Amino acid sequence: MDVQRSIRRRSDQKSCKPWETFGCISPTPGCGENKCGEVKRPIICAASCGIGCWCRGSLYRRKRDNKCVPMHECPL
């Protein structure tokens, strides 16, 4: 079972875009990656996490095309 999980994780990592990183991020609202139109992350987030591809660093997920963009490219 751990082998299957490891294989799935490797294939998921390969599906991340160049502006994304693969990892574990808290699902608490406002935690995890930045999203256009949402308030920045709080200081306290849940210990549990979701594994997947997330926007790197200070990039924001733009809803219309699901791309990670700098904040100035977010719609107003």
- Delimit the domains of the chain by residue range: 2-73
Contacts of 44 (CB under 8 A, 6+ apart): none
CA distance 30 to 26: 9
CA distance 6 to 10: 6
- pLDDT (mean) for 53-68: 92
Instruction: Specify the CATH number for 2-73; select among 3.40.50.620, 2.10.25.10, 3.40.50.2300, 2.60.40.10.
Output: 2.10.25.10
CA distance 32 to 13: 17
Residue 59, pLDDT above cutoff 90: yes
Q: What phi, psi does 49 have (nearest 5°)? A: -150, 160
Q: The pTM is what?
A: 0.69
Helices (H), the chain: 2-14
The larger pLDDT score, comparing residue 41 to residue 63, is at 63
Residue 7, pLDDT above cutoff 50: no
